[in-house]
Amino acid sequence: MPKKNPPWFVYLLRCRDQTLYTGITTNLEQRTQEHNHSDKGAKYTRGRRPVQLVYYEQLASRSLAARREYQIKAFTRPQKEQLIRKSLPSS
């Protein structure tokens, strides 16, 4: 039986200074914890803690996640904020 690859996620974090950080992972919860509490978090987020997960998308492979991460990183701040707003549940 072929080994099933885990899903990949592209995600956005809102940092304490209100900047946005984009990354990819296979484990959102663990990666967010690393950004907040560990040296494994990105250098960018270490000085901007705490960070909060504000957006994510699930993708089938690392390569698709990396491609989407590249697209999102090229977005303007208003485009990223719109992505976040669209993902929020309607109240």
pLDDT in tens, 37-87: 999 999 999 999 999 999 999 999 999 999 999 999 999 999 999 999 998
Q: What is the pTM of this model?
A: 0.91
Residue 44's Cα: distance from chain center in Å?
13
Contacts of 36 (CB under 8 A, 6+ apart): 45, 49, 50, 51
> What's 8-87's CATH class?
alpha beta
CA distance 37 to 75: 28
pLDDT at 60: 96
Amino acid at position 88, single letter: L
pLDDT in tens, 8-33: 999 999 999 999 999 999 999 999 99
Closest residue by Cα to residue 7 from 23, 25, 22: 25
pLDDT at 14: 98
